[in-house]
Amino acid sequence: MFLVLRIPTLAIHLDRQETFTFNKETQLFPIAGLVAAELNRTRDTGKPATPESSTTCDPSSEDSFSPLKAPAERHHPYVVELIANEAAVPSSSVVDFEMVLYDTQEACIGGLNKELIFSARLDNLGMSYCSLHGLINSLSSPSALENDRSIRLISLFDHEEIGSNTAQGADSNFLPAVIRRLSTIGSDSDDQTVYEQALAKSFLISADMAHSVNPNYASKYEPDHKPEMNKGTVIKVNANARYATNSPGIVLLQEAARRGHVPLQLFVVRNDSSCGSTIGPMLAAALGARTLDLGNAQLSMHSIRETGGVYDVDYGTKLFESFFEHFSELQSKIIVD
């Protein structure tokens, strides 16, 4: 694996601050290499360290006129070259690009009994994996859909950590538009409320990783709600609707878990503690569909290296598989008086 960039922090010996703070504009520049090494590379390859400007062309020529500088002029030319090499095209063919830095260290299994997962971005690739494989597994039988009146659907969104208010985020019109189109398939009726009827019969699971109890900070958790890794998927409850869970949803999910032999846990944040949120309340408000928030327990959420449970991956996958298989039958039996 070829690692290109790294953001180094200042040695603690040079700035003994009690809390780790930094300036996002001036102190988070990644280091790509050393000037001397780049000069040696360009000398050995015969390539210039900086490209010749392409903006000195004749503006009357449509073929040569460029409204913006070329990518190799706006960025380091070797970075553009690396991107071009990955795409197997000449550097001149790269018109533009978007680049995001991420931790390249591979996930691994650890713990005395190999019961833990150490990985970046468990939140929320963990539940994305479980829901995807649960959906696939629920369709393994050729007759899986013969008596199913429901549409089995998962939706994986971008940008949840920055508000979801993007074209591919949960706060967009994407999911409502898809459901609206699906609700009209096979319908010969002129009823203009088929979409609303479909939502009334639907159930949304907002699957985002949950907090496992941290033994080093046990006092941060409500005494009767300390979820543990490898003890089952966690149902998240919050009276201020930071999570969208309610009692009918808990009953339905519990029955699905019973049929899949999947253990469940409950999590309620302390009354004197702040509470994170998910896309659950956002989508529940937009769709008006029954919604429940859940996730597998993990430690160090939002750290560059997070910790989860090996067995919870299997629990989560089986839970979704059972939910998809049994929802049509169960949802009609949940009566709210």
Look at residue 57 and tell me whether its pLDDT is greater than 80.
no
Q: Are 322 and 131 in contact (CB under 8 A)?
A: no
pLDDT, tens digit (0-9, with 9 covering 90-100), for 264-285? 999 999 988 888 889 899 999 9
Residue type for position 19: T
Gap between the Cα atoms of 314 and 263, Å rounded: 11
Residue type for position 102: Y
Checking DSSP bridges between strand 233-237 and strand 290-295, what pairing results, if any? antiparallel
Closest by CA to 156, choosing from 174, 182, 138, is 174
Provide mean pLDDT across the span 20-30. 88
Helix, strand, coil percent content, the chain, rounded in steps of 5: 35, 10, 55
Residue type for position 325: E
Closest by CA to 254, choosing from 266, 240, 238, is 266
pLDDT of residue 108: 96
Give the helix ranges, DSSP H, for the chain. 35-45, 71-74, 77-87, 122-138, 174-183, 194-200, 247-260, 280-287, 310-331
Look at residue 55 and tell me whether its pLDDT is greater than 50.
no
Look at residue 61 and tell me whether its pLDDT is greater than 60.
no
pLDDT, tens digit (0-9, with 9 covering 90-100), for 212-245? 999 999 999 999 999 999 999 999 999 889 999 9
Look at residue 59 and tell me whether its pLDDT is greater than 70.
no
pLDDT, tens digit (0-9, with 9 covering 90-100), for 283-307? 999 999 999 999 999 999 999 999 9
pLDDT, tens digit (0-9, with 9 covering 90-100), for 87-131? 999 999 999 999 888 888 899 999 999 999 999 999 989 999 999
Checking DSSP bridges between strand 297-299 and strand 210-211, what pairing results, if any? parallel
Q: Would you state the structure tokens that stand for residue 262, as one six-digit string? A: 């999947």
The band of 58, judged by pLDDT with boundaries at 50, 70 and 90, is low
Look at residue 181 and tell me whether its pLDDT is greater than 80.
yes
pLDDT of residue 56: 46
Across the chain, what does the average pLDDT equal? 88
Provide mean pLDDT across the span 132-140. 96
The band of 147, judged by pLDDT with boundaries at 50, 70 and 90, is confident
Pairwise pLDDT comparison (4 vs 323), residue with the higher score: 323
Look at residue 25 and tell me whether its pLDDT is greater than 70.
yes
Gap between the Cα atoms of 17 and 101, Å rounded: 26
Specify which of 148-162, 187-201, 256-270 reaches the highest per-range mean pLDDT. 256-270
What's this model's pTM, rounded to 2 decimal places? 0.86
pLDDT of residue 47: 66
